[in-house]
Structure 1
Amino acid sequence: MATGFYTHADCLRHEMGNWHPECPARLQAIEDQLIAGRIDALIERESPPLVDEADLLRVHTQAHIDHIRRAAPTEGYAAIDPDTSMNPHSLQAALRAAGAAVAATDAVIAGRFDNAFCSVRPPGHHAEPARAMGFCFFNNVAIAARHALDVHGLERVAVIDFDVHHGNGTEAAFSGDPRVLMCSIFQHPFYPYSGTENQAKNMVNVPIAARSKGDVVREAVDLLWLPRLHEFKPQMLFVSAGFDAHREDDLGNLGLVEDDYTWLTEQVRQIAARYANGRIVSCLEGGYNLSALGRSVVAHVKALAGL
């Protein structure tokens, strides 16, 4: 099975201060673990383009895009919200991250790869159509999913989100859209304090109590995600792959380990194999303990590649 691996040096140049957990070292930690696990030679590396504005506009408003462009500083930092800021390289990184998700979608649909992982930052799933927040500027997975629908003509896609935080931006983009089924787990109550009220029919949001371990998440997936996915029969799957639910990650309080991420990825692969010709595009979201992040991404990529 051929798995594409999309990353770019631009994604290392975005940083929000030495104190910030969403830091360039996250991607470096992934690279180190790929090498240590001897996985690097088994994936196909791709250098993504910048995203087209037309793709951004399928999810985000013109006013939002213009605001992010205007906010980009020429030096120092520009605050977007209390947790999110831009340096002079942040805009380029955000455009590159979204471009990776779109390019991976094109490649997987064209049959160049069976699936792909985008090792990019900034992350995206908190970015709403008209608002940047939670370390996110543009919603990479939502942009890629809408590209698959509107450009490639797919009729049904699924979004899987296993980040410790609810993907409020992705829900805002797709709530009520019958072409999209979103399945998510997230710690609750927890930032961004969303996902539990007024769910649209195409949302399968599963709040998980703090200190829960992998068995609780696996049961939720078995009982709540998988029946809906089999009913929906997606033609492609997109994954918001956050690894901050790992038991070693201090930004959350769940207890997942690498075996849980392998299991989750295998469930996604089985759905993709049955209904979607194996087509999956996965994009990095959270994960802030560097060692746990690197190990978890290796587990995820190995499972994508069937290794």
Structure 2
Amino acid sequence: MSSSDKSILPVGFLIHPHASLHDTGWGHPEHQGRLRAIASSVGKDLLALDGKVIQVEPGEIEEKDLLRVHTREHLEHLEEAVRLATAESRLVSIDSDTIVSPHSWEAACGSSAALVTAAKMVYEEELSTAFVATRPPGHHATADQAMGFCLINHVAIATRWLQENSDVNRVLIIDWDVHHGNGTQDIFYGDGSVYYFSLHQWPHFPGSGAVGEVGEGAGIGLTRNIPVRAGTSPAEYRNLFAHNLEQVLKSFEADFILISAGFDVMEGDPLGGLCLEPEYLHFLTTKVMHTASKQCGIVVALEGGYHPERTGLGVKAVLRALAEVE
């Protein structure tokens, strides 16, 4: 990747139009109101950011892009569930908390397409960085299983797309969702080209993410889990993140960084027990930008965040950090 100064480039903001069509029912934590709140919060701020952040139209994704991560059987199972939801005009449960509706396949694929578009545009230096409001989220989805509200793993798909279609080889995935990203960890656990770093509440769903989970085979030492207790102070969380990020980037020279940004780490989230305010999310984002090499691309993807208004404020803070605005 070129070392030219990217500060003059805009930050991209992407939401695929199909993402809001994924219907889980308004009683479900991962409902359509999440994206509405984000769009409202960001929309009000775009004028103030004066061209530093621009909305970008997502491109398309191909089946081969999905198959680099997921088994064909998994994709066919999801498509079959969506066909049933369409034929019977109802919601279909994959498990106790993962639901599909008639447009869920379009939403999931569209969100992966948006993340791939953002990664491509940052790599090609059309954007400095980008934020993608993916929905449904992705980091719990394994190669062959949907779970935890997630159908397909957007960050894993974008990682493999970059490795296949550019000279990006080494990818760092940073996950600050309140829940451990078991799917992402599982997909890359034995991979020597991808580092997975997660800071998450523990014990908590899905039950993985212990300190001793460090990778296997070629991936030994390329998984770092930092579990924190519920109620951990924002200052302690910030210090743990900064210290561990510095250690990760000293040991792993990343060509590209993808961030699984969970806004369920925020104060008041109904599914979390942490208490970060927007300014801490601004700090986490800024810390990544300042610690990573200047040649390293950075793209942020939405994962959790189940208090819509608070999530909107958190996304605005992350976008402002990406744009280097307080």
Q: Same-fold call, TM > 0.5?
A: yes
The separation in 2 between residues aligned to 1:147 and 1:50, in whole angstroms, is 12
Q: Matched residues in 2 for 1:205 and 1:7: separation?
A: 29
Residue 39 of structure 1, CA deviation = 4.2
1:199 maps to which of 204, 209, 214: 214
Deviation at 1:145, TM superposition (A): 1.1
Residue 25 of structure 2 is aligned to residue 17 of structure 1: yes
Unmatched runs of 5 consecutive residues or more in structure 1: none
Moved more, 217-226 or 62-71: 217-226
Deviates more, 1:162-171 or 1:262-271: 262-271
Aligned partner of 2:104: which letter? Answer: S
- Aligned-partner Cα distance in 1 for 2:317–2:154: 22
C-alpha distance in structure 2 between counterparts of 1:257 and 1:250, whole Å: 15
SS of aligned partner of 1:244? helix
In structure 2, C-alpha distance between the alignment counterparts of 1:41 and 1:80, rounded to whole Å: 42
2:308 matched residue in structure 1: 290
| Deviation sequence 1:96-127 (CA, Å, 0-9, x none) | 00111111111111110011110121110000
Which letter does structure 2 place at the counterpart of 1:212?
T
Q: Aligned equivalents of 1:35 and 1:90: distance in 2?
A: 25
Deviates more, 1:16-25 or 1:27-36: 27-36
Q: Does 1:28 pair with 2:36?
A: yes
Q: Is the 8 A contact 1:115 1:278 kept in 2?
A: no
CA distance in structure 1 between the aligned counterparts of 2:50 and 2:198, rounded to whole angstroms: 29
What TM-score results when the alignment is normalised by the length of structure 2? 0.90
Q: TM-score, normalised by structure 1?
A: 0.96
Shift of 1:306: 1.1
Q: What is the CA-CA distance between 1:153 and the residue it aligns to?
A: 2.9
Q: 1:84 and 1:41 mapped to 2: Cα distance?
A: 38
Q: Does 1:147 align with 2:158?
A: no
Q: Secondary structure at the match of 1:81?
A: coil
Identity %: 37
Alignment of 1:56-95 (within 5 A): 56-72=66-82, 73-74=85-86, 75-95=89-109
Equivalent-residue separation in structure 1 for 2:262 and 2:75 (angstroms): 24
Q: Deviations over 1:167-189 (max 9, x none)?
A: 00100111121111111110000
Distance, in Å, in 2 between the alignment partners of 1:40 and 1:79 is 43
Contact 1:141–1:238 (Cα < 8 Å) also in 2: yes
Which residue of structure 1 aligns with residue 4 of structure 2?
A: none
Q: Does the C-alpha gap of structure 1 residues 229 and 98 become closer, same or farther in structure 2, counting only changes over 3 Å?
A: same
- Of 221-230 and 84-93, more deviation after overlay is shown by 221-230
Q: Which runs of 5+ in 2 are unaligned?
A: 1-6, 216-220
**Aligned-CA RMSD value:** 1.4
Return the alpha-carbon distance in structure 2 between the equivalents of residues 242 and 66 of structure 1.
Answer: 28
Looking at structure 2, the residues matched to 202 and 84 of structure 1 have their Cα atoms a distance apart, in angstroms, of 29
1:50, distance to aligned residue in structure 2 (A): 3.6
Distance 2:265 2:11 in 1: 24
2:141 is the alignment partner of 1:127 = yes
Report how many residues are paired: 305
Higher deviation after alignment, 44-53 or 254-263: 44-53
Q: Is the 8 A contact 2:213 2:225 kept in 1?
A: no
Task: Report the CA distance between 1:213 and its aligned residue.
Answer: 2.0
CA positional deviation for 1:17:
1.0
| Aligned match of 1:167 | 181
AA at the equivalent of 1:145: T
SS at match of 1:227: helix
**Cross-structure match for 2:218:** none
